[in-house]
Amino acid sequence: MPNILTRRCFFAAISALSFAITPAMARQDAPVVAAASGLQFALEEIAAVFEADTGMRVRISMGSSGNFARQIREGAPFEIFMASDEQFIADLHADGFTRDEGDLYAIGRLAIVVPHGSSLLPDPELNHLAEMLEAGQISRFAIASPQHAPYGMRAREALITRGIWADLQPYLVIGENVSQAAAFALSGNAEGGIIADSLALAPELAERGIHALIPADWHEPLRQRMVLLQGAGEVAEAFYNFVMSPSAREIMERYGFMLPEG
């Protein structure tokens, strides 16, 4: 088996958002939202609007959905879980960790991203990546972990569809989550990578490279579902409902997420 180089780039693994709490909410700690790292920039913006509108605050922990699912089973004190693969929610619900089956809040997209100055061109069908790979001109290419990060799982499926997964494996740099993969892909130490389109569109990252959407039918859909966990309080409920509101949905759409009907 080809070796896969593992590089852990600690890029926004945990984001703590600090807001003012109204006197009515001052008696309890802000609930922690376990959120897939592809939501980083969109969710920070949503949380800021939520705080401005309600005076309530949440704390957001970013990471891979698979790791969060494991931590929830181990008793992590999260109140909301926003996964990038709804199967994690279904499994937790079946085992009694959630209030219900939750709600589909978005459908994610994959993008190939390359830093400025890279010799790799970000074409949607990965033709130039295949050409450079065949010519021996790829040294490193970043994706999230296919073991526990849904965006990594879908990146692997897309590369298999294109027929270059096996040949690319010796050059893969694996991020613990998709944010870490994005950090490495845009660091200048790799030709590029496959990440969440929501991260590629974020101004903080968009200025560092260029990207292109990968065809959605090259991989299983990134059906992103969220759920209230057992023991969630009123603030968590309020934020959960806010994420489904028109103002939050507009932010999600701006970051490239497809919105579920209804």
Is residue 8 scored above 70 in pLDDT? Answer: no
pLDDT at 262: 53
Tens of pLDDT, residues 193-228:
999 999 999 999 999 999 999 999 999 999 999 999
Residue 23: band (very low, low, confident or very high) from pLDDT cuts 50, 70, 90: very low
Single pTM value for the model:
0.86
Is residue 238 scored above 90 in pLDDT? Answer: yes
Domains of the chain from N-terminus onward: 23-107+221-254 (3.40.190.10), 108-218 (3.40.190.10)
pLDDT at 29: 80
Cα–Cα dist 228/79, whole Å: 6
Is residue 94 scored above 80 in pLDDT? Answer: yes
Find the mean pLDDT for residues 180-192: 96
HSE-up (13 A, CA, CB side) for residue 188: 3
Question: What are the distances in angstroms from CA 18 to CA 11, 56, 59, 78, 100?
Answer: 19, 10, 7, 17, 29
Residue 28: band (very low, low, confident or very high) from pLDDT cuts 50, 70, 90: low
Is residue 83 scored above 90 in pLDDT? Answer: yes
Q: In this predicted model, which residue has the larger pLDDT, 2 or 49?
A: 49
Report the percentage of the chain scoring pLDDT > 90: 87
Is residue 3 scored above 90 in pLDDT? Answer: no
pLDDT at 20: 31
pLDDT at 137: 97
Question: What's the chain's average pLDDT?
Answer: 90
Tell me whether strands 59-63 and 32-36 are parallel, antiparallel or unpaired: parallel
Cα–Cα dist 255/201, whole Å: 6
Report the percentage of the chain scoring pLDDT > 70: 89
Cα–Cα dist 64/48, whole Å: 22
Pick from 5-19, 27-41, 63-77, 245-259: least confident: 5-19
